[in-house]
Structure 1
Amino acid sequence: MSVKIDKQHELGKLIERFTGQDGVHPTSIPSLFLIRESIITEPISRVNEPSFCIIVQGEKEVLLGEESFRYGSGNYIVASVDLPVTGQVIKASPDSPYLALKLEFTPSEILEVLSDRDIQPGKRKNAKRAMFISEVEPSLLDAVIRLSFLLDNPKHIPILAPLFKKEILYWVLQGLHGEVLEQMALENSNASRIRNVIEHIINNYEKSFRIEDLAELANMSVASFYRHFKEVTAMSPIKFQKQLRLQEARRLLLAESSDVADVAFKVGYESQSQFSREYSRMFGFSPRADINRLKENYI
């Protein structure tokens, strides 16, 4: 156990060295990000891309629908598909900052690992929740450390980074919840059919849709589609779309000096009063009060 703690400490020192200040920091390794926060943060709503995230120090809570995922040092969290979530660092201080590493991946990268394991496509199992937490095993931690320390030797990144990333995905697939990734990548699985619908909703979040049309896109009955979608995302298709709309509305209001009514229309609402009610329910403040509050905090 002490060896594992020493390795996490070593990884933490590297994150501190390559960040230096709070925030999410891209690196010279494609799809690898280092994260540091020295204070407890406000809840941040965003679409979480398919990714693997390991916490080295501190704690974080992620809300997916009404479900809470809380994890800390020595744990990792995986999102196997794009998901609208709300995340908050809940344990951090200047003396002991929150330190984490995030590695984004694609279904094709998962398929590449599966093909090397000679996994036959076409298994149609029940879809499972697309987000899970596990304890970091030593073999997985070793692969993460090898990838991260390429930042000290950037000339080796083009050759070795893809190999180490593949090893990380391999160990996640070998883990307790590896089947979640496996099913999301296999094209004929129920999970991958839901993934296709999720991509469709994300690309067309401002448009109205019928559940029957989404079920047809997934090649499922309405009842089967609704059940699998809720199992994967922890929410209904309508709530999924609503969260996307409200997250984008918040981004637009922060980035532009737009009228609330104009933003509501842009993200697909026909009624400004309905938009304001749902915005307040999700973020705890009316649109204008929320944006004023956030802008004051940024100054």
Structure 2
Amino acid sequence: MTIQSEDTLAALANGSTKDALVEETIRLANLISGQTPYDGTFSQRIPGLSVSRYSRVNEDYVKSFDMPSMIIVAQGAKTVTVRQEVYRFNQSQILMLPVALPIAMKVTHATYTEPYLSVKLVLDPHKIAEMALRVYPQGVPAATKWSAGYILSADLGMMNAATRLVQCLTHTGDAELLAPLVMDEILIRVLRSPIGSWMAELGFAGSEAHLVTKAIAWLRNHFSDPVKVAELAEMVHMSESTFRVHFKSMTSMSPLQYQKALRLHEARRLMVSESLDATTACYLVGYASPSQFSRDYSRFFGSPPKRDVVGLRPQVTADSNLPLE
């Protein structure tokens, strides 16, 4: 009889877990493929869930405004930037974007036979707060690092939960009855992850992270209004200096840079979706000068408004992420 050492047993168990993770990732990729008949992003009947398939890499970054979300990659790779911050993630990795942000993204690894495949979940701050009370009944540990985004390696439990969530789309009634339970499980797993305490802080009233999210919500709802940073800070009961530091750590930009991005994204939406001219869109989003709007727009999107919109209109689909919610 051979007695194996503890190190040998641990190595065997680790190898078995890695194999199981690979198998689960392949299962998830196959399920996503079944929900994506061609390249694009497809919203599903499970609220907050979408799946994506892309068979070519992007030469240029695509800019959008994303809600708080998590993206789980089953195949391929993608890069997302938030101003100067760069997040590269691939198979079996997760990108967490805890707050609503203007981002630029591109698929960096994909082929026709092995396309980029991913699952995206929009995060509900109220549900996060509810789950955080269960995960941290004695209080949330202090968050050690704030960032606009985080990359996590998915473990077998998380990947299995994502697989079961997408699988709910294939059985009658599961999307309505079982999917909400799986969504709760995924949130609990995130809250128990290395960034769990940071995510939990977002849901607790009075925390500095929560106060910044309130300021972000105000900016999103009043992006066309003139505002001073001091007034925003006073609105959420923080000193201006503290507010500036925390806002930038959570978004990688200043409050006024964030407001400008909101205005430009909304102007783009108005021109593409509602066929407004640049001057009309410029005034509607809060600009006083069409020439300044054109300069800002060109710097932000890489082309002046008219040329950019002409290139975008044929690409607009029902799943477009341009509208601000």
Where does residue 131 of structure 2 map in the other structure? 113
Instruction: Give the drift of 1:296.
Output: 6.1
Where does residue 36 of structure 2 map in the other structure? 19
> CA–CA distance in 2 between the matches of 1:187 and 1:101?
29
> CA–CA distance in 1 between the matches of 2:198 and 2:294?
36
Where does residue 255 of structure 1 map in the other structure? 273
- 1:31 pairs with 2:48: yes
- 1:7 pairs with 2:18: no
* Contact 1:59–1:92 (CA under 8 A) maintained in structure 2: yes
Where does residue 266 of structure 1 map in the other structure? 284
Counterpart mapping for 1:81-230 below 5 A: 81-120=99-138, 128-230=146-248
Structure 2 gaps of 5+ residues are: 1-17, 318-325
Where does residue 292 of structure 1 map in the other structure? 310
TM-score scaled by length of structure 2: 0.86
> CA–CA distance in 2 between the matches of 1:282 and 1:28?
34
Amino acid at match of 1:192: H
Amino acid at match of 1:166: D
> CA–CA distance in 2 between the matches of 1:294 and 1:61?
21
* Contact 1:22–1:37 (CA under 8 A) maintained in structure 2: yes
* Contact 2:79–2:106 (CA under 8 A) maintained in structure 1: yes
TM-score scaled by length of structure 1: 0.94
- 1:245 pairs with 2:263: yes
> CA–CA distance in 2 between the matches of 1:211 and 1:55?
37
* Contact 1:122–1:189 (CA under 8 A) maintained in structure 2: no
* Contact 2:31–2:163 (CA under 8 A) maintained in structure 1: no
Instruction: Give the drift of 1:69.
Output: 1.1
Query: Measured at CA, do residues 99 and 192 of structure 1 come closer, stay the same or move farther in structure 2, by a change above 3 Å?
Result: same
Query: Measured at CA, do residues 205 and 298 of structure 1 come closer, stay the same or move farther in structure 2, by a change above 3 Å?
Result: closer
Query: Measured at CA, do residues 123 and 268 of structure 1 come closer, stay the same or move farther in structure 2, by a change above 3 Å?
Result: farther
Which structure has the larger Rg? Answer: 2
- 1:275 pairs with 2:274: no
Please, what is the CA RMSD of the aligned residues?
Answer: 2.0
Amino acid at match of 1:248: E
Partner-residue secondary structure (3-state), 2:152: strand
> CA–CA distance in 2 between the matches of 1:150 and 1:296?
33
* Contact 2:143–2:198 (CA under 8 A) maintained in structure 1: no
* Contact 2:44–2:51 (CA under 8 A) maintained in structure 1: yes
Partner-residue secondary structure (3-state), 2:173: helix
Query: Measured at CA, do residues 278 and 108 of structure 1 come closer, stay the same or move farther in structure 2, by a change above 3 Å?
Result: same
Instruction: Give the drift of 1:252.
Output: 1.6
Partner-residue secondary structure (3-state), 2:74: strand
Q: Among the aligned pairs, what percent are the same residue?
A: 32
> CA–CA distance in 1 between the matches of 2:98 and 2:185?
17
Instruction: Give the drift of 1:249.
Output: 1.3
Partner-residue secondary structure (3-state), 1:36: strand
> CA–CA distance in 2 between the matches of 1:118 and 1:99?
33
> CA–CA distance in 2 between the matches of 1:176 and 1:294?
39
Instruction: Give the drift of 1:297.
Output: 6.4
Amino acid at match of 2:19: S
> CA–CA distance in 1 between the matches of 2:255 and 2:86?
19
> CA–CA distance in 2 between the matches of 1:122 and 1:58?
35
* Contact 1:110–1:169 (CA under 8 A) maintained in structure 2: yes
Alpha-carbon displacement from aligned partner over 1:244-296 (angstroms, at most 9, x marks no partner): 11111112222233221111111111111111111111111111122223346
Where does residue 3 of structure 2 map in the other structure? none
Amino acid at match of 2:237: N
Instruction: Give the drift of 1:36.
Output: 0.9
Structure 1 counterpart of 2:65, from 47, 50, 70: 47
Query: Measured at CA, do residues 126 and 16 of structure 1 come closer, stay the same or move farther in structure 2, by a change above 3 Å?
Result: closer
Instruction: Give the drift of 1:120.
Output: 4.7
Where does residue 78 of structure 2 map in the other structure? 60
Partner-residue secondary structure (3-state), 1:84: strand
Alpha-carbon displacement from aligned partner over 1:37-79 (angstroms, at most 9, x marks no partner): 1222453322211212101111111111221111111110111
> CA–CA distance in 1 between the matches of 2:34 and 2:315?
27
Larger CA deviation: 87-96 vs 196-205? 87-96
Amino acid at match of 1:23: G
Partner-residue secondary structure (3-state), 1:154: coil
